Structure 1
Amino acid sequence: MTNHPRERERASGVGDAGSPRADRPGGAASERPRSLRALVYGDVDLNIIDGSAIWAQSMTQGLAAAGCEATLLLKAPVTTDRLVAPLTTVPGVVVRRTYEERLVPDAGPRGLTPDQAVELITRLDAEQRFDLIVVRGKRLAIAAAQTEALAGRLWTYLTDVPQTVAEMTATSVSEITDIAVASRFLLCQTEELRGFLESTIPAACGKSVLFPPVVVTPEGVSGSGAPHEPLKLVYTGKFAQRWNTLEMTELPAALAARGVPAELHMIGDKVHRDDPDWAKRMSKALESASGVVWHGGKPRAEALRLSAECDVGLSWRAPEMDASLELSTKVLELGSLGLPVVVNRTPMHERLLGADYPLYAGETLDSVADTLTLAADPEIYREAAERCRAAAADFTLERAAARLRGYLDLACPPAPAGADPERPLKVVIAGHDLKFFTRLAEYLMSLPGLDVRLDEWEALRSHDQYRSKELAAWADVVICEWCGPNALFYAEHKRPDQRLVVRLHRFELYAEWPRKLDIEKVDAVVCVSPYYASLTRELAGYPADKVVVLPNWVDVAQLDRPKLPGAEYTLGMIGIAPSRKRLDRGIEVLGELRRRDPRYTLAVKSKQPWDYWWVWNRPEEREYYERTYRMVQRDPLLSEGVVFDPFGPDVATWLRRVGFMLSTSDDESFHLAPAECAASGGVPAVLTWPGADTIYSARWLHESTEAMADAIHAIVSEGRFDAARRAAQAEINENYSLSRVCDLWTDLIVHGKVPAEPEPGAVVRA
C-alpha cells in the first residue's frame, strides 16, 4: 500500500465547491476554511492554438469555476496573448509568466525543459503550498513523478502515451507506473483511454478518472442552421500530414466537379515540419489553392466566430488515427456552434454521434467529397448539425466544473465535524494485509484533523515490535485490520484513554485469536454484515453491543461506466478458489441459459486454483477442479461459452462487458463482486447462502441454479435489463457507496458513533 503524504493545512473551496458532498448522510463534513489552491502546467506553448493549448486554458477555467484559486504557469514567453488574455479577467485565476517575471534565469528561448519546469513548480510550491498540481506532458510527468515533494498531489493528464499494446513497451510500462504511483489522479480524456491504461498498468486502477475536453464558446455565437451556397467548409488547428490538411485543400475543386460550389476556410498558423517537402506543399496550398481562404492564427474566440460563419466542420484524418483513444476538441467546439462535422467512422465517434450519423468520412478524397455533397441537402444538414450539437452539450465548462468538484471532494475532503486540524486525532491502522482497507486508509489519511500512521506487519505473527510499541503509546485510536495477533498485541498495550477498534473477517472467526482477545479492552468489533455480526457474538461470546456492522465499501464512482454492447448476455464470476466458491454451479447456470440462447457466455476473472498452493495441495480441491474443467471441455454447449480472464485490479474496465454477476458460493461473509457489478450498471444473481438476505434484497436472490437461470433469461428476453440494472445500482449506491462507508468509519473513529444495526433479515440501509 502506498502511503500518501499528509497535508495538515489542507482545506477546500468556498461556495458550492466547499459544501459537503451531496451523497454524505448527516452532513458529516464541516465547511472548508479556505479555497483550494491549484497549479496548472502543461508542456505546451500557449502562443500556438492547438488542442493542448486549449486544454491549459479550459483546465484553468474549470478549476476556477469549481472554486479553486487557480494558477496557470506558462512554459514559454508570450508572443501573442490570444489564449492568455481571456484568462486575466477570470475571477480566481492568476497567470504566472515565467519569462516576463524572470522566474528561471537560464531558460532557453523555446520554453522550459521538463526538468526546469519541475524545479520551478517545486520552488513555487514551497513558497505557497498547492493542494493539487495539474500537469500535462509525458516527459514532464516523468520528471514530476521523481520529485518526492509533489507526490500524492499530482493530477496528471495523460494524452501523449502509448495507446496500443504493441506500443506499450517495458520502458513505457515502467514510466507510466511511476507516474501513476506518484499521482493522486490520472486524468483520462476518454473511457477508451482509461480502460486501456487500467488493463496495461495495474497502478492506474482506482486512480484513473475521466476529464473529457472542455468546450467554451463565445456567448451568442452560433451557426446559421442551414447550408449556404457556396458551401463553406472550415478547419481549425494545426496543419499535419495525419490530419489530412493538405488533402483538404483539394476539396473545393472536388466539390465543384460534383456541381457543389464550395470554399475551405482554414484557421491556424502551426505547420508541422517533420517532412520539409510536405510542409512546403502545405504552406503553398494555404496561400494559393483554389477555393481556400487561409485566415492564419486567431484568438480562440475569433476562431470560433469565423467558424460559426461557415457551414461544415472538417475532422477528416488518416486511417491510422482511427485507433486513437483521444477525442478531438475541435469536433466538440464546432458541434457546440451548431455545425455538422465530417469525421472518420470509429467506435468512439459512433458512441458519440450514433452509428447512423450521415457525415462519416471515407478514406479517400472522393469519398469525403461525396459525403459533403450530402451536407448540401437541408434535411441531412439539420440532422447532422443536431447530432453534433447534442453531443457537445456534455462537454461544457459547467459539466467540467461539476466533475472537478467531485474529484476535489475525493482528494481534499474537509475536516470532519468535531476534528481539529490544529490538534489532530492520532490514528494507527495495524495489520498484516491491508488490501481490504486500502481505500478507507487513503481517505482517512486525506482528512484534516486526523494524523494517520500505518503499522504494516510482515506476516500474521511477524512485525517490528519496537515500532508497534511506539505507535501504541502514540495513538489516540487504533484500528486493527483482522482479529489476529495484531489485535492481541494492541489490546495488551492499550491505554485507558485510548480507543481500540478491531475489524473481524470470516478467516479469523474460526481461529483461536478471537477467543484469546481481551474483549474488555476493545471498544468495537466491526463485521461487514449482520449475519456475521450475529455469528461473531455467538462463536466468540462477545457482548452484543461491542459488535457493530460497518459494511464493505463499493467505489460506485469508479465502477459506473458505460456497458459494452451485448453485456446483458455475459455472466461474470470473480474469484473461483477455493471450491466453496462453486464454479460448477455457475457453469450449471450457463448451461441452462445456452440451451435457450447461445449468445450467453460466462467470463471468469480469477487466479487459477493451482496458483494457490494451499488449495492445489489438497487432493479434494484438485479433484473438484479437474472434474469441473473436464465438464466444460467435453460439453460442446459449454466449451465455447466460458472465458477465463487474468486476475488483476482492472475490475472496473472488465465489468463493462458483464451484465450479470453470479454468486454461487456455499457461504460468504459479504461477497463484494455482485455489489460491484450492480454499481457498474449490471445485475446481481445470488444463491441464498447464509446471510445473503442481509446484504442483497430478495429480488436478486435465488434458491437454485435453475431459478437463477430462469430469472436472468426473463430479464433479458422480456426487455427488462435496463430497468433491473438501474434498480440494482440504486440499491448498492444507497447502502454501500465508498463515501457512505467512509463517513460511517469517520463517525466511529472521531466520535465513537456506530450505526444502528438493521433488524434480522433486513438489507442494510443508509
Structure 2
Amino acid sequence: MPTPQIPDELLAKVARRAVARLTRTDRPFVAERVLGVCAQRVRNRRLKADLLGEAAAAQLGRGLVPRHLVQAYAAELACADAQLKSGRKKEAAAALCRALQLAFHRVPHIDRLHSPLSDDPVGFTARLRASATARAVAAPRGRKVLPAAPPADRPLRLLVVNRANANFLGLLTERYANHPGVELRTLDLAVDPEIAPLAKGLQRMVELPLGGQAGYGAAVEAALRPHLDWADTVFVEWCSVAAAFMTLVDPGSTRIVVRLHKYESFTHWPHIMDFSRVDDVVFIAEHMREMTTAAVPRLLAPDAPRLHFLHNALDLRRFDRPKSDDARFTVGLVGMAQIAKDPRWALEVLRLLRARDERYRLLMVGGGISPATSAAAATYHAALEKDLAELEPTGAVRRLGPSDDVPGVLTGVGVILSSSVREGCHVGLMEGAAAGAVPVVRDWPFVAGRPHSTRTLFPEDWVVTTPQQAAERILAVTASEEIRAAAGREASRYALSAWDWETVRADYDRLLLGSDRDVSSPVEDPLRKADAQ
C-alpha cells in the first residue's frame, strides 16, 4: 500500500519545531532524527535546503557539529546546480556560497579536537567535487602564454603578496631585499588602497568564473595587471583569499607560487581556486600536502601545479642559549590561543608528573583562547579555566601571556611540549628544541597513523600518544640534569641542522631563483603516478 504524500508545508512545520527543540535541549538526537526524516521527504529543493540549513545553523550556534552537516551543504549545492542549469548565475553563486559557509564553518574544523574533514577528507568533500557549480567555479581557465624562464640579463623581479598576515615572511623578504639577483616588491592586499576593496567578498569571486560580475572582473584586471606585468615571479603567502584573488586574472608570463601552511586546508579557498593559473604550490609539511590533496584531488592531476615540501623560514639560532639552573623541572607550552593546541592535554600530563614529583611545573606562553570566537570555543575555554583555577594557586602552572622575548623565556624551560591535535610544523616546539629544551610531541590525532604524520616530521623518540607516555618520557629525560642537558643538546643540534633558515634558505633560492625548480620530496612523483593510474 503506497504511503500518502505529506504536504511540504506540514513537513516544514514539523521540521522547524524540531529545530526549535534543538536550541532548548542538551539531548538533541531525537529532534535531529525528526528533522532528517522530514527534510528527506520534502520535495521542494529550496525548502529542503532552507530546513537543513536552519537546523545546521542552530547546532553550529551551540558549538555542535550537526548530524546532517553534509546533507545540509549538499542541499544548497543542489540548489546551486539547478540555478546554474537555468542560467541564473547570481543565484547559483549565492547558493554555492551558502554551501561553502556551512561545509567549512569553523566549529566543525577549527574549534574542536577533531574534524570531519580530517577524519575523512575524501568523503567529506565528495558532494562538493560532484557539484556542477563548484566544478565550474574551479574549472581551469588557464593562461594565454606559458610562464617565462628566469631572466638571464637582469635581477629577477619578485613580488611577495599577502593579505593582512605576513607573520612567516620576515626572513624571506629580508633575504630577497638584500639579494643582488633579486628586485623585490611586497604587496599587502588588505592595505593597498585600490586593491583592498576588491580583495574581499566571496560571492563575487565565485560569480566571476561563472560568467557574471563583468564590472568586478574588469576592476580586478585593472588593479592587478601592473603588478603582474612588473613581476617575473609572484610568491603568494597563504592559500586562501589572496591566492584565490590573484588567480581571478590571467597572470600572463608571470610565474605564480602559492604557499599553504595549515589553516587553509580547513577552509573553502582551495576548493574554489583555479590552480591552472598557479605554477607551484609549497606545503610546509608532508602531512598537510597529503590531507589537502586527498580533499582536493585535482592538485594531483597531470596538469596540476608542481607540489613542493619546504620547511618554514625560521631563525632558530637566536634560541640557542644556555639554560638557567632551574630549567630542569619546567615544562614549556608555547602558543595556546587555539583549541587545536589542546592545553588541557598538557595539564593532564602535568598532573601525572606532579603525582610523582611536585617540583614539576608548566609554563604557558602566549595568549589564551577567546570565548567570543564561538560557542565551542567558549565551552573549551570554561573547562580550561576550571582546570587552571585548580592548578595555578599551587604554583603548578604559570601563565606568562604573550612575550616579546621568547628566546629569553625558553632559557628557563627544560622540556618543550606539543599537546596539539593538529599542526603544520609547530613553530613553538621547533623553537623550544633549538633552545635545548627536550621535545615531547603528542602524536597529533588529526594526522596520526597516516603515511606522513608527526612521526615522520620529528624523530620517533620525541613522539608520544597518551598523557601517560608523555609523563614517562619527561620523567626519563629529566632524571638528572646531566641526562636532560645531553638530550637538550641533541635536540638543538637536530633542530638547527634540519629547520634553521641557514639550512632551509637554499631550497627557497632554488624554488624562486634557480632554473632547477625540482625541490620536491622524493615521494611526489610516485604520488602523482599512483593518482593517475
TM-score w.r.t. structure 1 length? 0.42
Any idea what SS the aligned residue of 1:568 has?
A: coil
- Which residue pairs with 2:181 in the alignment? 449
- Which residue pairs with 1:528 in the alignment? 284
**Residues 635 and 448 of structure 1: is their aligned pair in 2 closer, same or farther, counting only changes over 3 Å?**
closer
Any idea what SS the aligned residue of 2:246 has?
A: helix
1:425 and 2:156 matched: yes
- Contact kept in structure 1, 2:438 and 2:477, CA below 8 Å: no
Any idea what SS the aligned residue of 1:547 has?
A: strand
Any idea what SS the aligned residue of 2:247 has?
A: helix
**Residues 741 and 468 of structure 1: is their aligned pair in 2 closer, same or farther, counting only changes over 3 Å?**
farther
| 1:682 paired residue among 431, 437, 443 | 437
Q: CA deviation at 1:572?
A: 0.8
- Which residue pairs with 2:491 in the alignment? 728
- Contact kept in structure 1, 2:372 and 2:378, CA below 8 Å: yes
- The correspondence of residues 244-323 of structure 1 with structure 2, limited to 5 A, is none
- Which residue pairs with 1:435 in the alignment? 167
| 1:656 paired residue among 411, 414, 427 | 411
Q: CA deviation at 1:461?
A: 6.6
Given residue 757 of structure 1, which amino acid in structure 2 is its aligned partner?
Answer: S
- Which residue pairs with 1:327 in the alignment? none
Any idea what SS the aligned residue of 2:475 has?
A: helix
- Which residue pairs with 1:28 in the alignment? none
- Which residue pairs with 1:605 in the alignment? 365
Q: CA deviation at 1:495?
A: 3.8
Any idea what SS the aligned residue of 2:407 has?
A: helix
Q: CA deviation at 1:548?
A: 1.1
- The correspondence of residues 322-337 of structure 1 with structure 2, limited to 5 A, is none
Given residue 558 of structure 1, which amino acid in structure 2 is its aligned partner?
Answer: R
1:543 and 2:305 matched: no
Rounded to whole Å, the distance in 2 between the matches of 1:570 and 1:455 is 42
Rounded to whole Å, the distance in 2 between the matches of 1:731 and 1:586 is 24
Any idea what SS the aligned residue of 2:377 has?
A: helix
Output one character per residue of 1:476-514: Cα deviation in whole Å (capped at 9) or x when no partner: 000110112322333343444321100112222232221
| 2:339 paired residue among 574, 579, 592 | 579
Given residue 741 of structure 1, which amino acid in structure 2 is its aligned partner?
Answer: V
Structure 2: runs of 5+ lacking an equivalent: 1-148, 200-219, 448-452, 525-533
Q: CA deviation at 1:759?
A: 5.3
Identity of aligned residues (%): 26
- Contact kept in structure 2, 1:483 and 1:514, CA below 8 Å: yes
Any idea what SS the aligned residue of 2:517 has?
A: coil
Any idea what SS the aligned residue of 1:730 has?
A: helix
Given residue 316 of structure 2, which amino acid in structure 1 is its aligned partner?
Answer: V
**Residues 682 and 463 of structure 1: is their aligned pair in 2 closer, same or farther, counting only changes over 3 Å?**
farther
- Contact kept in structure 2, 1:472 and 1:490, CA below 8 Å: no
- Which residue pairs with 2:399 in the alignment? 644
- Which residue pairs with 1:740 in the alignment? 503
Any idea what SS the aligned residue of 1:480 has?
A: strand
Rounded to whole Å, the distance in 1 between the matches of 2:486 and 2:324 is 17
Q: CA deviation at 1:463?
A: 5.8
Given residue 490 of structure 1, which amino acid in structure 2 is its aligned partner?
Answer: M
Given residue 701 of structure 1, which amino acid in structure 2 is its aligned partner?
Answer: V
Rounded to whole Å, the distance in 2 between the matches of 1:531 and 1:461 is 33
Output one character per residue of 1:710-748: Cα deviation in whole Å (capped at 9) or x when no partner: 111111114411221122112111211112222211110
Output one character per residue of 1:300-322: Cα deviation in whole Å (capped at 9) or x when no partner: xxxxxxxxxxxxxxxxxxxxxxx
- Contact kept in structure 1, 2:168 and 2:313, CA below 8 Å: no
Q: CA deviation at 1:635?
A: 4.8
- Contact kept in structure 2, 1:501 and 1:526, CA below 8 Å: yes
- Contact kept in structure 2, 1:472 and 1:493, CA below 8 Å: no
**Residues 492 and 722 of structure 1: is their aligned pair in 2 closer, same or farther, counting only changes over 3 Å?**
same
Given residue 521 of structure 1, which amino acid in structure 2 is its aligned partner?
Answer: R
Any idea what SS the aligned residue of 1:552 has?
A: coil
**Residues 420 and 474 of structure 1: is their aligned pair in 2 closer, same or farther, counting only changes over 3 Å?**
closer
Given residue 296 of structure 2, which amino acid in structure 1 is its aligned partner?
Answer: A
**Residues 420 and 564 of structure 1: is their aligned pair in 2 closer, same or farther, counting only changes over 3 Å?**
farther
Q: CA deviation at 1:623?
A: 2.4
1:750 and 2:497 matched: no
- Which residue pairs with 1:490 in the alignment? 246
- The correspondence of residues 323-362 of structure 1 with structure 2, limited to 5 A, is none
Rounded to whole Å, the distance in 2 between the matches of 1:693 and 1:513 is 28
TM-score w.r.t. structure 2 length? 0.59
Any idea what SS the aligned residue of 1:662 has?
A: strand
Rounded to whole Å, the distance in 1 between the matches of 2:331 and 2:260 is 31
| 1:476 paired residue among 232, 239, 242 | 232
Rounded to whole Å, the distance in 1 between the matches of 2:150 and 2:490 is 37
Any idea what SS the aligned residue of 2:344 has?
A: helix
* Equivalent residues, number: 338
Rounded to whole Å, the distance in 1 between the matches of 2:373 and 2:223 is 36
- Contact kept in structure 2, 1:421 and 1:449, CA below 8 Å: no
**Residues 462 and 563 of structure 1: is their aligned pair in 2 closer, same or farther, counting only changes over 3 Å?**
farther
**Residues 642 and 481 of structure 1: is their aligned pair in 2 closer, same or farther, counting only changes over 3 Å?**
same
Q: CA deviation at 1:678?
A: 0.8
Higher strand share: 1
**Residues 461 and 531 of structure 1: is their aligned pair in 2 closer, same or farther, counting only changes over 3 Å?**
farther
Given residue 537 of structure 1, which amino acid in structure 2 is its aligned partner?
Answer: T
Q: CA deviation at 1:462?
A: 4.3
Any idea what SS the aligned residue of 2:236 has?
A: strand
- Contact kept in structure 2, 1:572 and 1:659, CA below 8 Å: yes
- Contact kept in structure 2, 1:556 and 1:738, CA below 8 Å: yes
- Contact kept in structure 2, 1:571 and 1:661, CA below 8 Å: yes
Rounded to whole Å, the distance in 2 between the matches of 1:746 and 1:558 is 22
Any idea what SS the aligned residue of 2:513 has?
A: helix
Rounded to whole Å, the distance in 2 between the matches of 1:632 and 1:512 is 35
**Residues 424 and 685 of structure 1: is their aligned pair in 2 closer, same or farther, counting only changes over 3 Å?**
same
Rounded to whole Å, the distance in 2 between the matches of 1:536 and 1:620 is 24
Larger Rg: 1
Output one character per residue of 1:439-486: Cα deviation in whole Å (capped at 9) or x when no partner: 212112111110110111217974686654321111000011011232
- The correspondence of residues 230-245 of structure 1 with structure 2, limited to 5 A, is none
Rounded to whole Å, the distance in 2 between the matches of 1:458 and 1:685 is 38
Output one character per residue of 1:663-716: Cα deviation in whole Å (capped at 9) or x when no partner: 111111211111111111111110101221222111100011111111111111
- Contact kept in structure 2, 1:428 and 1:455, CA below 8 Å: yes
**Residues 758 and 684 of structure 1: is their aligned pair in 2 closer, same or farther, counting only changes over 3 Å?**
farther
- Contact kept in structure 1, 2:229 and 2:254, CA below 8 Å: no
- Which residue pairs with 2:468 in the alignment? 706
Rounded to whole Å, the distance in 1 between the matches of 2:456 and 2:358 is 34
- Which residue pairs with 1:695 in the alignment? 457
Q: CA deviation at 1:758?
A: 5.0
Any idea what SS the aligned residue of 2:498 has?
A: helix
Rounded to whole Å, the distance in 2 between the matches of 1:521 and 1:420 is 20
- Contact kept in structure 2, 1:554 and 1:679, CA below 8 Å: no
Rounded to whole Å, the distance in 1 between the matches of 2:253 and 2:151 is 18
Rounded to whole Å, the distance in 1 between the matches of 2:438 and 2:522 is 24
Rounded to whole Å, the distance in 1 between the matches of 2:307 and 2:398 is 41
Structure 1: runs of 5+ lacking an equivalent: 1-417, 761-766
- Contact kept in structure 2, 1:419 and 1:450, CA below 8 Å: no
Given residue 447 of structure 1, which amino acid in structure 2 is its aligned partner?
Answer: H
Q: CA deviation at 1:431?
A: 1.0
Rounded to whole Å, the distance in 2 between the matches of 1:462 and 1:661 is 42
- The correspondence of residues 389-400 of structure 1 with structure 2, limited to 5 A, is none
